[in-house]
Structure 1
Amino acid sequence: MEPTSTEPRDIARRVIDDNHFMVLGTSQPDGTPRVSPVFYNHAGYRDFYWISSPRARHSRNVDAQPRVEIVIFNSHVDPGPDVAAVYLGATAARVPDAELPTAVTAAFSSVRKGVRAYGVDELSGDAEVRLYRATVQSVEIHVRGSDPERGTGIDRRLAVEM
């Protein structure tokens, strides 16, 4: 078995690939934050897709203020050295109907166990759900203060080039 890479880019990719839910942070009309867990797929670690109702509070927040923050982490590990998280700064929007054929292909190019690919007709017209996309502008990973390679004594975030 090969050793697990500790390079920041590899850590970020591993966290993104190994998890299914991301916490989507949006801004409410009064400026307060709202966080929502959403099941995601990604395309090239740059575009993150999820299905949601346009009536959902987080969807309405995205329509009004497209700047979002996202965190992805494994909530099943015990606190300790295996804790890893990825923070994404992104711009999100509902995918326009005209872009759906291309976006659906990208969003469902690799379908995870227990998930099915949606068709364009299920995400347009009278459908109750839509495809949303967050395009990433910044990526950071969580670095523990005690990390043997990058620790500074205090937990922090480290910018990553993907």
Structure 2
Amino acid sequence: MSAPLSMGPSSQRAAGLVPPFRRVYAPGTCHRLLAPAARGDPMPVTDNNAHARSVLDGTCYVVLATADAGGSPWATPVWFAHDGLDRLYWLSWPGSRHSRLVEHRPEVALTVFDTNAVPNEGTAFYATARARQCPDEWLDDGLAVVNRRSLAQGIGEFTRERVTGGARLRLYVAEIIDAWVLDQDADVDQRAPVRR
């Protein structure tokens, strides 16, 4: 039986059209595993803050949406690390189009989602933010956040020397203004605010 397009994940689970799943993230990775929920387990109401952290912990890339002065959009995926729900960090070349756009127009939108999710079981984190090159006074803290993830994933360590002076890369930071998650308890595709 196919699910009506108007039915959201919760309604489809309740109608028995899709099996209930628990979202489980493999420790130290960006790969989400879908584990069937035990029969009879209630599907709890989602804690949006915990849900947001779970999405960020389990995903390696953020889609960074930028625009030029005239409003023409540009989007690019970048590997990221996060400091709770307040800041996202990434490494980029200042000459990249998205880096140049951030320099001239720091208002950005962010989307983090699992591209391997099965239909009707997807989840996502959305945010508006102000982005810029990481200021020097935040650099050590930002690199510590980045290195926790990069070392866990076998990417290696990023030192000040790799992101300053004549180095090709720079550390960027997006300071979250407002954030949302895909509402896991709604019957339709809608956003639920993340209160930080």
TM over 0.5: yes
Taking structure 1 as the reference length, what is the TM-score of the superposition?
0.86
Partners of 1:85 and 1:101 in 2: how far apart? 29
Q: Which of 155, 158, 161 is matched with 2:189 structurally? A: 155
One of 42, 67, 72 as aligned partner of 1:27: 67
Deviations 1:25-75 (Å, cap 9, x if unpaired)? 011233111100000011122111100000000000000011110000000
Q: CA 1:160/1:98 → structure 2, altered by over 3 Å: closer, same or farther?
A: closer
Equivalence for 1:47: 87
The Cα offsets for residues 71-109 of structure 1, whole Å up to 9 and x where unpaired, read as 0000001211x2101101111000134542232123323
**Map of 1:105 onto structure 2:** 144
Identity %: 28
Aligned mate of 1:77, from 117, 141, 145: 117
- Counting matched residue pairs gives 155
Measure how far apart 1:113 and its partner are: 1.2
- Asked if residue 13 in structure 1 is aligned to residue 53 in structure 2, the reply is yes
SS of equivalent to 2:173:
strand
Residues 1:121 and 2:151 are matched in the alignment:
no
Flag the structure with larger Rg.
2
> Partner of 1:108: helix, strand, or coil?
helix
Q: Report the secondary structure of 2:140's partner residue.
A: helix
Aligned with residue 134 of structure 2, among 70, 95, 109: 95
Long gaps (5+) in structure 2: 1-36
Q: Could you tell me whether the CA contact under 8 Å between 2:81 and 2:89 is conserved in 1?
A: yes
- 1:136 CA displacement: 0.6
User: How far apart, CA to CA, are the structure 2 residues paired with 1:78 and 1:62?
Assistant: 33
Contact 2:181/2:193 (<8 A) preserved: yes
Q: Which residue identity does 1:100 align to in structure 2?
A: L
Describe the SS at the equivalent of 1:79.
Answer: coil
Contact 2:53 2:84 in 1 (8 A): no
Whole-Å separation in 1 of the counterparts to 2:181 and 2:137? 34
Quick one: distance in 2 between partners of 1:99 and 1:121?
15
What stretches of structure 1 of length at least 5 have no aligned partner? none
Name segments (4+ residues, structure 1) moved above 3 Å.
1-5, 109-112
